[in-house]
Amino acid sequence: MGRKPVNATDITKAKNPDQRASLAALQRAAALARETAIQTNTSIVIEKDGKLVRISADELRRQASEEAKES
């Protein structure tokens, strides 16, 4: 309870190599969850600003399309 939350900058500077790699692993897992939701036409639930938000497969497709256009 008395511990300070860890942010992305803190993790990338961690002494433990597993902790340093954990951010990339979480990002890969999130991307795979989005891909799976699109393939199965299901929603995902994320936490945003302290609230749970449901994102539909259609919205995920729109986001993926926009990201593809930007790159």
Asked whether residue 66 is assigned to any structural domain, the reply reads yes
CA distances from residue 34 to 4, 19, 38, 56, 57 in whole angstroms, order as listed? 29, 23, 6, 10, 8
Asked whether residue 3 is assigned to any structural domain, the reply reads no
Give the contacts of 54 (CB within 8 A, at least 6 positions apart).
Answer: 43, 44, 45
Report the domain count for the chain: 1
State pLDDT tens for residues 24-48: 899 999 999 999 999 999 999 999 9
pLDDT of residue 71: 81
> Over pLDDT 70: what percentage of the chain?
87
CA nearest neighbour of 11 among 20, 54, 3, 2: 20
pLDDT of residue 12: 78
pLDDT of residue 18: 85
The total of other beta-carbon atoms located within 10 Å of residue 44's CB is 17
pLDDT of residue 4: 63
Asked whether residue 35 is assigned to any structural domain, the reply reads yes
State the pTM of this model: 0.73
